């Protein structure tokens, strides 16, 4: 059996790859690893369970809740809330584990299960491997140790989760954002109610788009992976700027007042300088990934801020931050982690902090984001190839070497398998966009040829 867990939980097409049976079995296994096995005598373990609005989340939530309760775990069902809300509530309520049902930015037919440890933290690889091992052991025949009578878990709807999370978001802001007009694109996702409420309470005049989830329209032509509607809305409404989330709202991208994109690297640059000014940028360091734009690295060097780069994936950013005590990290895609206020990327919090910086400085988002110049970067996703051979193919290695020779010191090449989809991502950076595009297209063809 191949490894179930990818870079962000277990994902697949709901009811095909990710079935109710798998969701139930994994939840029982997670209960044994994260809750029951570690509980003290007399302690009733508790789990917080949330989901995004996908239609498949309804039956998958039922399966997860059934699995946890059957393993003796009391369940607090918080309903449709962002991933960072489930993480926050897992910690704030002292729960033994959290479970979020979402496939984040993926299309509606997909779904995913993300387990969180005590405190609302993402699982280390070792814990995921243990959950898989326990699941596989019982899938192949060994019976579960099942509680009976009063030992089974009880299920409660925790409706207070929404208010508790919104109050947390507004409460951690360094200043109010009165006077700002902001367009919010909620991707018809998990933050469709939370985000507008938080921004409004913080003082902004809010215009919402993509905030009418029906279970089928999540991420469909909107949100952080499709900024066209947000760009148009910001200009049409004469807004100061716009914020876009993905389906589970752990990401935040922005659009300035003229409709230009402000990506995760630029947001990190703005927040790094804000935290440094406040004296909370620990180690005078920000954590990025190998996908961070070269322009971000140069800007941080110029501003005297250290940049630590990790592998791609917010979990690796988070691991580095926790290991060294850093306060800020994130990805170009808009996963931004502010560790003093969140245990994971939080798109609503990121947007609020960005708005707070605009309000505090009186400068436009475009002016603030201008601290860095984005070097041209071309990303091509190559589907339907054997992504497991991306680092072992000699033909591909030769093509990369040739591309790097052509770019010289003014650019770079990165090939990596997607952690959540059957893709190989080809990224090329260069001082000239046409050169970057030409090199990227040749490398994409080389990937198809070598791995197809």
Select which of 104, 192, 195, 224 is catalytic: 104
d(CA 242, CA 227): 10
Give me the sign of the Cα torsion angle 384, 390, 395, 400. Answer: positive
d(CA 226, CA 220): 8
33 secondary structure, DSSP code: I
DSSP 128-197: HHHHHHHHHHHHTTPPP----GGGS--EEE-TTHHHHHHHHHHHT-SS--TT-EEEEE-TTSTTTTHHHH
Binding site residue list? 104, 246, 248, 250
105 secondary structure, DSSP code: T
d(CA 124, CA 316): 10
d(CA 295, CA 45): 47
Residue 314, CB-side half-sphere exposure with 13 Å CA sphere? 28
215 secondary structure, DSSP code: S
d(CA 32, CA 38): 8
Binding site residue list for Mg(2+)? 104, 246, 248, 250
d(CA 160, CA 177): 25
333: annotated active-site residue: no
DSSP H helical ranges for 304-382: 314-324, 347-361, 365-369
Residues forming the active site: 104
């Amino acid at each position: 059996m191949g490894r179930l867990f990818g870079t962000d939980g277990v994902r697949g097409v709901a009811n095909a790859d990710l079935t109710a049976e798998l969701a139930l079995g994994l939840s029982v296994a997670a209960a044994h690893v994260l809750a029951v096995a570690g509980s003290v005598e007399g302690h009733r373990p508790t789990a917080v369970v949330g989901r995004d609005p996908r239609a498949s989340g309804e039956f998958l939530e039922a399966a997860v809740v059934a699995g946890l309760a059957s393993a003796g775990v009391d369940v607090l069902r918080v309903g449709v809330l962002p991933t960072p809300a489930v993480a926050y509530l897992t910690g704030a309520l002292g729960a033994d584990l959290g479970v979020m049902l979402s496939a984040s930015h993926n299309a509606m037919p997909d779904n995913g299960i993300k387990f969180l440890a005590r405190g609302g933290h993402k699982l280390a690889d070792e814990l995921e491997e243990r959950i898989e091992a326990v699941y596989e052991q019982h899938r192949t025949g060994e019976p579960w140790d099942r509680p009976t009578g009063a030992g089974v878990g009880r299920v409660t709807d925790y409706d207070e989760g929404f208010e508790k999370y919104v109050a947390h978001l507004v409460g951690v802001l360094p200043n109010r954002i009165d006077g700002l007009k902001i367009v919010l694109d909620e991707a018809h996702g998990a933050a469709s109610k939370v985000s507008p409420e938080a921004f409004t309470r913080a003082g902004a005049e809010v215009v919402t788009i993509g905030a009418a989830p029906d279970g089928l329209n999540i991420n469909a032509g909107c949100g952080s992976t499709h900024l066209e509607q947000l760009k148009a809305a910001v200009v049409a409404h004469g807004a100061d700027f716009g914020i876009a989330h993905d389906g589970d709202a752990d990401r935040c991208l922005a659009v300035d007042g003229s409709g230009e994109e402000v990506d995760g690297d630029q947001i990190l640059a703005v927040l790094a300088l804000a935290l440094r000014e406040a004296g909370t940028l620990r180690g005078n360091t920000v954590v990025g990934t190998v996908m961070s734009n070269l322009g971000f690295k140069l800007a941080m060097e110029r501003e005297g801020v250290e940049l630590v780069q990790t592998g791609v994936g917010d979990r690796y950013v988070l691991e580095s931050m926790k290991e060294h005590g850093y306060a800020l990290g994130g990805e170009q895609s808009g996963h931004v982690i502010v560790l003093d206020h969140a245990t994971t990327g939080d798109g609503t919090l990121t947007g609020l902090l960005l708005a707070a910086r605009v309000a505090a400085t009186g400068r436009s988002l475009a002016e603030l984001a201008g601290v860095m110049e984005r070097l041209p970067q071309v990303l091509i996703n190559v589907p339907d190839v054997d992504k497991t051979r991306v680092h072992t193919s000699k033909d591909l290695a030769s093509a990369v070497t040739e591309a790097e020779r052509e770019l010289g010191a003014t650019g770079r090449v990165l090939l990596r398998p997607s952690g959540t989809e059957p893709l190989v991502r080809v990224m090329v950076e260069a001082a000239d966009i046409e050169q970057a595009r030409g090199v990227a297209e040749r490398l994409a063809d080389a990937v198809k040829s070598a791995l197809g």
